[in-house]
Structure 1
Amino acid sequence: MRIEAGTYGRARRISLTSLIDVIFLLLLFFMLTATFSRFGDVELTVGGAGASQPADQTPIFLRLDADGLSLNGETLPVTLLADRLNVLREAGRADVVILSVRDGATSQQLVDLIAAVGASGGPPLQIVR
């Protein structure tokens, strides 16, 4: 049996039109389904250089470290912070909250703490080294 080699003409070029259409549709789909909203904002204010606080203000001292949070030297969970700040504010013993962040504290702990102080509607927060 003899097999003849067929004559194949020029090689056909693959059309890229359908590929470009598919890529355009995928791009359009991902652009329309993507969300560009912020999930949460933490408002921070910048203190002035050399600005001092009035002497009649009563500060609350918070210390954040790897072990947790302490309020005026007393260990406290972050979930109870808003209630404690409200009690101190109503008693007139909370004019400003001073936060000291120690080594080992994570940024998530700091954000949670700032959010808790902000949610309490209490005194302004100052962060020190």
Structure 2
Amino acid sequence: MAKARKRRRRLSMTSLIDVIFLLLLFFMLTSTFSKFSEVELAANAGTGAMAQTTPPVFLRLGQDSLSVNGDPLEITALAEGLPDTETTLIVALQDGVNAQRLTDLLVALRAFPKLTVTLLGAS
């Protein structure tokens, strides 16, 4: 007796397309496409000294502290400690300062268009 040959069924693509569509829909709904705030940085290495009428302001940024010319200050009160004239702000980072803390400071400094911010690098 010869075995009856089983005829193979064709693979249905409908269910596969449904699964791909559901995965696409899931990833589209769970992804965020919002644009986070951007901080513009410009590198000026060795440009030389420029003549200024006002002395530069020194800001020291710590993990939990901030001081302007040695006076402790909060980020929210920067308007009280910074001059409203065109000047250079020198920012020095203490040990333990993370990138988010520096970004918060740079975003707050956007309110002062007359300041030229210089970030001191590690030696």
After TM superposition, the score normalised by the length of structure 1 is 0.71
What is the CA–CA distance in structure 1 between the aligned matches of 2:64 and 2:26, rounded to whole Å? 46
Q: CA deviation at 1:56?
A: 3.6
Q: Which runs of 5+ in 2 are unaligned?
A: none
Task: Report matched runs for 1:75-114 at 5 Å.
Answer: 75-85=72-82, 88-89=83-84, 95-114=87-106
What is the CA–CA distance in structure 1 between the aligned matches of 2:76 and 2:70, rounded to whole Å? 17
State the superposition RMSD in angstroms.
3.0
Equivalence for 2:15: 18
Identity in percent: 44
What is the CA–CA distance in structure 2 between the aligned matches of 1:15 and 1:80, rounded to whole Å? 66
SS of equivalent to 1:54: coil
Instruction: Report whether the alignment pairs 1:119 with 2:97.
Output: no
Looking at CA atoms only, which structure, 1 or 2, has the larger radius of gyration?
1
Q: Paired residues, what number?
A: 118
Equivalence for 1:45: 42
Which runs of 4 or more aligned residues in structure 1 lie more than 4 Å from their structure 2 counterparts after TM superposition?
A: 9-14, 28-35
SS of equivalent to 2:96: coil
Contact 1:82–1:117 under 8 Å retained in 2:
no
Contact 2:91–2:117 under 8 Å retained in 1:
yes
Q: Which has the higher helix share?
A: 1
What is the CA–CA distance in structure 2 between the aligned matches of 1:66 and 1:35, rounded to whole Å? 29
What is the CA–CA distance in structure 1 between the aligned matches of 2:107 and 2:55, rounded to whole Å? 21
